[in-house]
Each structure stands twice: as structure tokens, then as C-alpha cells.
Amino acid sequence: MGAPGRFLIAALIGAVAALWTLTRPGDPALYPAGPSEAGVTVYLLDNGFHTDLAVPRAALVEGGGPLAEATAGLAPGDWVLVGWGDATFYVDQSPISARLVDGVRAFLKPGNASVVMLDPVATHPARRFRAEDRQALTLSAAGMAALRRRVQASLATDAAGRPMLATARSGDDARFFESRETFWVGHLCNHWTADLLSAAGLPIRPWRALTSGEVMRMAARGQIDAGRADAAKLDLQLVRD
């Protein structure tokens, strides 16, 4: 291989490495909630390969619009699990062994239709989900509003601006609403969750958000960085005092 070919390969490897480590910075004005602010606690949930967010129902209803309308029509429950995925594979709960071909289609074919899931639950996430499968994040009111707007932006609406129900899964209270976004390997469920966290002010590494474990690690790092920032602010205040 000549020098131009080696240079091209090296440049390609360098570009991939740069993208892989690229971090979208957080916004300290949104996350975490300030010391004088109660904030809104949401829970990042990991089922082993997929991530959802558990959000207080009242926080989704606040502000009106299609997301509030979709939430208001759900069964009772003070918390709502919010997720996103392929319009077929995500909704289907049959054994995974029977859905492998459809999984390959959802993963590799660009432009698949998608849905936003809203699933009301009455039990507090800290009691419903194992400690290792959940992570609490206390957002500022502005951060929660930004997260809510990001979810709402994903909802497709009809001519009257109403959310469009795609399906109501039998056997539980989950409802799936048509989404404006498309699903494939370049934009998976965990990418979508990471986008929500980014909207709420947390730093994320968008190219690495392929797996649920990586999204959980992003959130954990965001908490650590926020703690360091709070400590730095406190030190500065002590110096000023």
C-alpha cells in the first residue's frame, strides 16, 4: 500500500476515534437543580439492552400540548415510563427468538417508522425497579421543561395538532403514539434516551449511546461532574465570604 493509502486509512481511523469520544457538553443552567430549587426527579431505567425514563405524570402534563393530551388519556398512575423504538419490533412482546428477522430489519433498514411509549405506573420507581437498574436524576424545572419539549417534538400530530395513537398493547396500560423520527442502527432507542438527557442539560457522548449500559454510564458521569461543579461553586463562595 502506498503512502496516500496509508494516510487515508490513518485519517479514517482518526475520524472514527474522534467521533467515538466526542462529548456533547452539558448545560449547568439546566442540570442539576440548584441548591435552592426542589427540582424534578426522574429515573433512568435499564432493562439490559433498552432504556426508558420514569417521569412524574404531572411534569408531562404541565404546559399543555400534544404530550399533555396523550398523558391525560392514560390509565391512572403517578409515574409514566417514557420510551421510544421501532413501530413494530418495540411493541411486539412475543419471544425474541421468533422476531430475529424483524430485529435485523429494524436494525439495518434506514427509515423505519417509530413510536413513543407512554406507560403509566402507580408504584414509585425506587420500589418497582432494582437499584442496579435505575438511576435518579434531579433536573431543574427548566431542565425538565426542556426534556418535556424534546419528547413532545418526537410526537407526530394530526391536522388538529393532536397526538396520534398507533396502538394500545393488550395486557398492560402502555400506549404507543406515532413519532416523527425514524429508527435504525444510526438512531436507536438508547440514542433517543441520550438525546432526552442532553436536552435536560446532561453531557452525553452521542456516538457511543448504542447500548443501555453506556447511557447509564453517561448519566453517572453527569452526576459526578455536577457534584464537582457544585463543590467548586461552594469553594468559590467560601473564598468570597
CA pair distance 87, 115, nearest whole angstrom: 5
172-187 pLDDT, tens per residue?
999 999 999 999 999 9
| Helical ranges in the chain per DSSP H | 3-21, 57-61, 65-72, 100-108, 125-128, 141-154, 189-199, 212-240
* Partners of residue 54 on adjacent β-strands: 43, 81
Q: What pLDDT shows up at residue 20?
A: 46
CA pair distance 113, 165, nearest whole angstrom: 13
Work out the mean pLDDT of the chain and round it to a whole number.
87
Instruction: Return the amino acid letter for 95.
Output: P
26-85 pLDDT, tens per residue?
999 999 998 889 899 999 999 999 999 999 999 999 989 999 999 999 999 999 999 999
Summarize the confidence of residues 115-134 as an average pLDDT. 96
CA pair distance 112, 2, nearest whole angstrom: 41
Q: What is the pTM of this model?
A: 0.86
Q: What pLDDT shows up at residue 29?
A: 93
CA pair distance 241, 44, nearest whole angstrom: 38
Number of other residues whose CB lies within 10 A of the CB of residue 36: 5
Local confidence band at 11 (pLDDT 50, 70, 90 cut-offs): very low
Between strands 79-86 and 51-56, the pairing is: antiparallel
